[in-house]
């Protein structure tokens, strides 16, 4: 098993080496942030920011100067400090403008996720052929039966079924890539 220092040295040319380094230390870095912010999403964001900085700075890591895990926690301290400073600046700006802090409740977050999902789906629908989009809209969104759609489109039910099937396959691929 490679040491952390060896993994960081290889990370410059082998992304899987950094993936292994990440897997070894992600929980500890996440806990470091969580203990300080007491909020899962914020801790996860800070953890991601920390590892992104570590990946970008991996070429500057010098084995022997400090252990790799110490270097990583140094990055975490810097990320935490920048985050705290951003919060202070935002707080002072809100106070000067007499604005209350924005608090996102679970239902607000759920609504934002639904809006995002709807935008992703609308974008994906725009990439379908007009025939597929029309068939998917009629069958899935409008919940019409194949016979009715075929009659309206002046084609067979089999053709409508194929358009719906191919359209849904295309949507699954496109939405899956963007989710």
pTM across the whole model: 0.54
Q: Which domains does the chain have, with CATH numbers?
A: 4-97 (1.10.1740.10), 106-178 (1.10.10.10)
Instruction: Give the number of other Cβ atoms within 10 Å of residue 19's Cβ.
Output: 13
Per-residue pLDDT of the chain (179 residues), as tens digits, is: 888 888 888 887 888 889 999 999 999 999 999 999 988 888 999 999 999 999 888 888 887 778 999 999 999 999 999 988 888 888 888 888 887 776 666 776 676 676 766 677 777 788 889 899 888 888 887 888 889 999 999 999 899 899 988 988 888 887 765 54
Read off the pLDDT of residues 46-75 as tens digits, 9 standing for 90 and up. Answer: 999 999 999 888 888 887 778 999 999 999
Instruction: Judge contact between 142 and 104, C-beta under 8 A.
Output: no
At residue 45's C-alpha, the angle toward residues 60 and 68, to 5°, is: 30
């Amino acid at each position: 098993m490679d040491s952390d220092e060896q993994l960081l040295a290889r990370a410059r040319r082998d992304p899987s080496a950094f993936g292994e380094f990440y897997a070894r230390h992600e929980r500890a870095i996440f806990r470091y942030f969580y203990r300080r912010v007491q909020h899962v999403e914020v801790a996860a964001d800070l953890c991601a920011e920390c590892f992104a900085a570590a990946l970008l700075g991996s070429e500057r890591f010098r084995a022997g100067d400090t252990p790799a895990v110490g270097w990583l926690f140094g990055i975490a301290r810097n990320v935490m400090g920048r985050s705290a400073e951003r919060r202070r600046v935002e707080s002072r700006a809100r106070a000067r403008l007499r604005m209350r802090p924005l608090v996102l409740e679970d239902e607000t977050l759920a609504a934002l996720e639904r809006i995002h999902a709807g935008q992703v789906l609308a974008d994906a629908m725009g990439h379908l052929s007009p025939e597929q989009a029309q068939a998917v809209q009629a069958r899935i969104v409008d919940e019409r039966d194949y016979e009715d759609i075929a009659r309206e489109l002046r084609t067979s039910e089999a053709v409508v079924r194929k358009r719906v099937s191919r359209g849904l396959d295309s949507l699954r691929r496109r939405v899956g890539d963007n989710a």
